[in-house]
Amino acid sequence: MCRLLLQCNSDVNATASVDHDPNALGWTRSGCRWTPLHVASYIGHIEVCRLLIASKANVDAKDCSEHTPLQRAIVKDKVAVCQLLLQSNANVEARDSSGWNLMHHAVALGHETVCRLLIASKANVTNDRCIRFLTLTFVW
């Protein structure tokens, strides 16, 4: 389906309103606009992510909470998608509307493999908030 839509010149960076449905995928607040790459990253659909990126999807697109597709993949611990987005030059220092960067989310959720990927991708772990998070998480 994705290939067919792309063959019909669909806009890979178009946004759609995403409503919260606790019985579905636990998405975000009502009316938040996600790109197809946000959705594919959150779900962990690596092949769709590859197809969208090859079709020039914006890997740093931000939704209404200023979350990028990489942040959405981090929250769901979708390691393969995180690797793909990082290899596609996603901004490893992206911050959301709360001021959290990607490392904050990965550490807070206990996603160690993703933390290691971010560190390998030169994520800044020297700021005070990251140090506090890392200390609290790994001490406890």
Angstrom distance (rounded) from CA 112 to CA 8: 40
Chunked mean pLDDT (size 10), the chain, 140 residues: 59 64 45 86 95 94 93 96 98 93 89 92 74 57
Tokens of 119: 């560190």
Per-residue pLDDT at 48: 93
For residue 27, the enclosing domain spans: 2-139
How many independent structural domains does the chain possess? 1
Q: What is the CATH number of the domain that holds 16?
A: 1.25.40.20
Neighbouring C-beta atoms of residue 71, cutoff 10 Å: 27
